[in-house]
Amino acid sequence: MLDERSVGLYMVHLDHQLIFEARRYSNGANVHRVKEMIFVYAQAVDLHNRHSPAHRNYRAAYEQELREFVHTQRIGNHLRPRRSPPEVESGGQGVSS
């Protein structure tokens, strides 16, 4: 049974796969937002694991925000229609008569 003194003493592991996927969905339009989400998530884990008084209880909201971003991007990529490769003309340098 956990008492008041043991709350928040567990270690939280940084999800490296989550960070990898978030970076994969980063682009020019969202790069700063993605970097910030990754940073605050990693900071929350680090501060909690170092028993920072202000982070005694793990702040899972930062992790959840990053997970929601990855999930939204993953769904968006599945719904986006695939482009077919451009057709290459055969026989010559593409000059028509």
Number of domains in the chain: 1
Residue 5 scores a pLDDT above 60 = no
pTM exceeds 0.75 for this model: no
CA gyration radius for the chain?
22
Residue 91 lies in a domain: no
Give the pLDDT confidence of 14-51 residue by residue, as tens digits: 999 999 999 999 999 999 999 999 999 999 999 999 99
Q: Which pLDDT tens digit goes with each residue over 59-76?
A: 899 999 999 999 999 998
Residue 87 falls inside a structural domain:
no
Residue 26 CA neighbour count, 13 Å, CB half: 16
Query: Residue 42 belongs to what domain range?
Result: 16-79
The pair of structure tokens assigned to 78 is 């599945």
Residue 89 lies in a domain: no
Please report whether residue 94 resides in a domain: no
Whole-number Cα distances in Å, 27 to 23, 52, 53, 75, 88: 9, 33, 36, 16, 29
Q: Is residue 24 a part of any domain in this protein?
A: yes
Judge whether 73 lies within some domain.
Answer: yes
Confidence of residue 55 (pLDDT cuts 50, 70, 90): confident
Residue 8 lies in a domain: no
The answer to whether position 97 is within a domain reads no
